[in-house]
Amino acid sequence: MSLANNTTLKKTSSSGTTDSPYLGSKISLVSKAKIRYEGILYTIDANESTVALSKVRSFGTEDRPTDRPVPARDEIFEYIIFRGADIEDLQVREP
């Protein structure tokens, strides 16, 4: 997992969450299944290797090549937690 713009994650707390200057930023994330999600970076848990986004929208696979195309969804999810191993790309859209 990498954040665009040479993002450096900050110190990990005893609970495993990471203090990051990007918490609260708009994030675009592409999963290994080629599905793009956009949401607000809520937390990063270094111990669990997870990234949580809030107010998440799924844009589906769009034009990315895949054996299983997924359409975009109108629904906005309150929170989605992604495992680091399931993330192909992660970019900060709006700090």
Q: Is residue 1 part of a domain?
A: no
* pLDDT above 90 (res 11): no
Residue at 10 is within a domain: no
Instruction: List the CATH number of the domain containing 58.
Output: 2.30.30.100
Classify residue 14: in a domain, yes or no. no
Q: Sign of the C-alpha dihedral, residues 19, 24, 26, 32?
A: positive
Residue 95 near residue 22, CB atoms below 8 Å = yes
pLDDT in tens, 46-83: 999 999 999 999 999 999 999 999 999 999 999 999 99
Evaluate whether residue 11 is within a structural domain: no
Q: Which domain holds residue 69?
A: 28-93
What confidence tens digit (pLDDT) does each residue in 16-30 have? 566 678 899 999 999
In a domain, 4, yes or no: no
Inside any domain, residue 55? yes
Total domain count, the chain? 1
pTM: 0.79
